[in-house]
Amino acid sequence: MKGRINIKFRAENRDIFEVIKSGEKKIETRAATEKYRKIQTGDKVCLSCGRKKFIKQVVAARVFPTIAALLKKYRPSQINPAVKTETELRKMYYGFPSYRDKIKKYGLIAWELK
């Protein structure tokens, strides 16, 4: 992909935005919609929350068909440091608007960020 794509965080997810910025969280995931599937290894992404922004490089991009498949590669705490179990991770994903249906339709994409 040429240029940078923006990955936006809602104000209520500022804590996740901040742990990515600090480098504590290196894995970011989204429903693997067409927009996010364009982000590939080597791309730079601009993460934003309100007026705050920063740039990270994608060192790996992987698509997973299900949450269970994602968890064969990553621990829940790598995806969200506040989450410890698969049940908590599912609850987190299903708490986002339309995510249950989006995951079923598109799967998940995970980016390793540097």
Question: Does the pTM exceed 0.85?
Answer: yes
Task: Please give the domain boundaries of the chain with CATH numbers for all domains.
Answer: 5-113 (2.30.130.30)
For residue 5, the model assigns a pLDDT of 86
Nearest Cα neighbor of 30 from 1, 3, 70 is 70
> Largest Cα–Cα distance in the chain?
37
Alpha carbons within 13 angstroms on the beta-carbon side of residue 4 total: 14
For residue 68, the model assigns a pLDDT of 98
For residue 1, the model assigns a pLDDT of 46
pLDDT along the chain (114 residues), means of 10: 79 95 96 95 96 97 98 97 96 95 98 97
